[in-house]
Amino acid sequence: MLFNLTIHCSLLVNGWLQYHLLPCPFKYLTGIDCPGCGFQRSILLLIKGNLNDSLLMYPPAIPILLTALWWLADSLLRLDNPKAYIKKSLFIITGSFITISYAIKLVHLYQH
């Protein structure tokens, strides 16, 4: 019974989220995808269990989620040693991942 209720709630949330995504103001103004375009759809695919489709939709989604989780855990539990620089390293890696992914997207956009 609990399993069926969980599936029903998940379908309702996914259905509602799918039709209430936030519009991208950058794309609205310029007509070009921003570095974050695809993140919401990628997260929805990840929630549905489609890891491969999620990675194809927006590759930096998982690094962003992992960085956000580390930041949250560090904010609550003070995990990061000031000399370890784990949080700064994660921010640099995630930012690089976003930049490289966006550059590849733009190259494919303007090649056609």
Is the confidence at residue 93, as pLDDT, over 90? yes
In Å, how far from its chain's centre is CA 59? 8
Distance from C-alpha of 38 to C-alpha of 90, rounded to nearest angstrom: 21
- Give 112's pLDDT tier (boundaries 50, 70, 90): low
- Residue 7 pLDDT exceeds 80: no
Domains of the chain, residue spans: 2-111
Q: Is the pTM of this model over 0.85?
A: no
Euclidean distance between CA atoms 100 and 102, whole angstroms: 5
Give residue-wise pLDDT tens across range 11-69: 555 666 677 788 899 989 998 889 999 999 999 999 888 999 999 999 999 999 999 99
Whether the Cβ atoms of residue 61 and residue 39 lie closer than 8 Å to each other: yes
Query: What torsion, rounded to 10 degrees, do the Cα atoms 105, 64, 8, 6 define?
Result: 150
Q: What are phi and psi of 20, to 5 degrees?
A: -130, 40
